[in-house]
């Protein structure tokens, strides 16, 4: 076991780590992004590919990242430097940490804009506004919000400010308490919504859409999208798990903790799908419409159910809190770096990093209004940042993590951290990070590239 100690405190228990990492995993990725990714990629085939990716790539890579974090016990950039020296690897491995941290900040820049919309919806519902009574008015209410640049900036700032405030105070203490309350409550509300959607929506069509696949529809871009969704939703490849792993007690079993986090996250994603699709089909909403899917579908349930105003407000508020748990995890690696390497005090480091992200996010916030005409090959600025981070940077970061954990790190070191006691399952982990993940990622990436060049 590595004898290093974290400079920023330690989780009080395995449970605290699982809560924090689950809080980072469950956020907009499972509730907002999962349904629209399913919609954009045609349903069941994507869901099956995604679930396979979560199990075969997501779980082993999560274990790898947490393991590296605990071994290094520093911020992701320093950890990668330390470990590559220790394992006599090339100096360039240090850049894996930089890649992850930079990707995380880019993701947060637009994540905060979406979280801002969520916050705006909570406030609007609380004030009694109707956010749609049918598909057309719901789409209208959503586009009214997006197209106001000042409002977009206001909510983006409010959300990021809150995240910076929490991170500035220190992640290890507050997070545990917050997540213990919000996560279970969010799940309860989702279950109620699923029941409502099953009664009042088109459940049969939604089930067929979500769970009936067709192997003939598997193509490289869809597979890459499924990998991206798996990494995004499990918080893999941005240094977040590495940073949280650094605060993990030495005795915690990484495999079991990771499995719990993955299972909870999949459960919530499926609940989100089972809420959105029955309602979307019932109201004739296009599941392939992209990032507006959640915002144009759920208000139709809240307007129709008894007590819907209160319930809807609570739901969007909890979603904001869940997003906050993720935003904290996205900020933490860079903030830990600034504290450890630049000797900034934590509040100042949080302010500086959040300020940078805020600036980057302005582009995304204005993509739907002032900058709407600007095109970058993959749509507007928002779409382009989303695309580059999820389809290029996250897979690259995941690939380098698997290569480092599988090939550069010696067997003894990873054995020690993962506790070999688990026997054959550990062999499966090794196979996954050494062979399966690199082959799948390189294969899918190359196939997509060939398709582009050919097309
Ligand atoms: N997993 C988070 C979500 O689903 C997003 C996230 C990605 C958080 C990477 C931290 C790191 O919303």
pLDDT in tens, 136-183: 999 999 999 999 999 999 999 999 999 999 898 887 766 677 777 788
Ligand 1, closest atom to CA 265?
A: 4
36 C-beta closer than 6 A to ligand 1: no
Q: pLDDT-based confidence at 39, cuts 50/70/90? A: very high
437 C-beta closer than 6 A to ligand 1: no
30 C-beta closer than 6 A to ligand 1: yes
Residue 441 and residue 455: Cα distance in Å, rounded? 21
Residue 420 has pLDDT above 80, yes or no: no
Give residue-wise pLDDT tens across range 215-261. Answer: 888 999 999 999 999 999 999 999 999 999 999 988 888 998 999 99
325 C-beta closer than 6 A to ligand 1: no
Q: Which of 32-36, 165-169, 368-372, 378-382 has the highest mean pLDDT?
A: 32-36
| Other beta carbons within 10 Å of 411 | 10
Q: pLDDT-based confidence at 418, cuts 50/70/90? A: confident
Question: What is the percent of the chain with per-residue pLDDT over 70, rounded to a whole number?
Answer: 96
Residue 407 has pLDDT above 80, yes or no: yes
Cα distances from 455 to residues 192, 384, 445, 451, in angstroms, run 45, 19, 15, 6
pLDDT of residue 2: 62
- pLDDT top residue among 420 and 177: 177
Do 62 and 261 contact (CB within 8 A), yes or no?
yes
Q: Ligand 1 centroid vs 257 CA: distance in angstroms?
A: 17
Q: Ligand 1 centroid vs 421 CA: distance in angstroms?
A: 30
Residue 421 has pLDDT above 80, yes or no: no
pLDDT of residue 9: 80
pLDDT, mean of residues 397-407: 96
Q: Ligand 1 centroid vs 115 CA: distance in angstroms?
A: 12
Question: What is the percent of the chain with per-residue pLDDT over 90, rounded to a whole number?
Answer: 76
pLDDT of residue 422: 54
pLDDT of residue 252: 86
Residue 400 has pLDDT above 90, yes or no: yes
**Average pLDDT over the chain, rounded to an integer:** 92
278 C-beta closer than 6 A to ligand 1: no
Q: Ligand 1 centroid vs 170 CA: distance in angstroms?
A: 19
23, 25, 103, 241, best to mutate for ligand 1 pocket (most atoms within 8 Å of CB):
25
24 C-beta closer than 6 A to ligand 1: yes
CATH superfamily for domain 14-366+393-426: Hydantoin permease (1.10.4160.10)
- pLDDT top residue among 173 and 64: 64
31, 76, 240, 357, best to mutate for ligand 1 pocket (most atoms within 8 Å of CB):
240
Residue 288 has pLDDT above 60, yes or no: yes
- pLDDT top residue among 23 and 103: 103
Q: Ligand 1 centroid vs 320 CA: distance in angstroms?
A: 13
Closest protein CA for atom 6 of ligand 1: 235
pLDDT of residue 46: 97
Do 63 and 258 contact (CB within 8 A), yes or no?
yes
29 C-beta closer than 6 A to ligand 1: yes
pLDDT, mean of residues 78-85: 94
Q: pLDDT-based confidence at 29, cuts 50/70/90? A: very high
Q: Ligand 1 centroid vs 454 CA: distance in angstroms?
A: 33
Q: pLDDT-based confidence at 289, cuts 50/70/90? A: very high
């Amino acid at each position: 076991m590595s004898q290093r100690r974290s400079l920023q405190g330690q989780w009080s228990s395995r449970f605290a780590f699982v809560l924090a990492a689950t809080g980072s995993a469950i956020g907009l990725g499972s509730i907002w992004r999962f349904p629209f990714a399913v919609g954009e990629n045609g349903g069941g085939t994507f869901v099956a590919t995604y679930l396979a990716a979560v199990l075969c790539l997501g779980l082993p890579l999560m274990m790898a990242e947490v393991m590296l974090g605990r071994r290094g016990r520093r911020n992701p950039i320093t950890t990668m430097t330390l470990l590559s020296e220790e394992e006599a690897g090339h100096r360039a491995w240090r850049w894996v940490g930089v890649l992850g941290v930079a990707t995380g900040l880019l993701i947060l820049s637009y994540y905060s804009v979406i979280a801002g919309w969520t916050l705006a919806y909570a406030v609007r519902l609380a004030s009694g506004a109707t956010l749609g009574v049918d598909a057309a008015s719901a789409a209208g209410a959503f586009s009214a919000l997006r197209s106001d640049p000042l409002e977009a900036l206001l909510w983006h700032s409010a959300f990021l400010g809150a995240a910076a405030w929490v991170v500035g105070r220190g992640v290890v203490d507050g997070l545990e308490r917050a997540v213990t309350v919000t996560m279970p409550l969010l799940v309860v509300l989702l279950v109620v919504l699923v029941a409502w959607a099953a009664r009042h929506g088109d459940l049969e069509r939604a089930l067929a859409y979500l769970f009936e696949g067709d192997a003939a529809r598997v193509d490289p871009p869809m597979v890459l999208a499924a990998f991206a969704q798996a990494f995004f939703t499990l918080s893999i490849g941005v240094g977040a798990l590495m940073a949280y792993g650094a605060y993990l007690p030495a005795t915690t079993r990484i495999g079991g903790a990771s499995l719990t986090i993955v299972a909870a996250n999949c459960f919530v994603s499926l609940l989100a799908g089972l809420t959105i699709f029955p309602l979307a089909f019932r109201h004739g909403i296009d599941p392939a419409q992209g990032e507006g899917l959640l915002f144009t579908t759920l208000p139709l349930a809240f307007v129709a159910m008894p007590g819907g105003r209160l319930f809807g407000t609570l739901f969007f508020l909890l979603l904001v809190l869940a997003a906050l748990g993720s935003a904290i995890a996205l900020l933490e690696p860079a903030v830990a770096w600034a504290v450890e390497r630049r000797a900034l005090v934590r509040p100042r480091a949080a302010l500086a990093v959040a300020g940078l992200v805020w600036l980057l996010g302005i582009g995304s916030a204005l993509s739907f209004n002032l900058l709407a005409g600007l095109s970058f090959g993959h749509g507007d600025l928002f779409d382009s940042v989303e695309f580059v981070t999820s389809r290029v940077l996250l897979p690259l970061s995941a690939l380098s993590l698997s290569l480092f954990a599988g090939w550069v790190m010696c067997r003894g070191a990873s054995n020690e951290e993962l506790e070999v006691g688990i026997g054959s399952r550990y062999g499966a982990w090794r196979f996954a990070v050494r062979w399966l993940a690199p082959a799948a990622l390189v294969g899918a990436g190359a196939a997509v590239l060939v398709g582009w060049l050919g097309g």
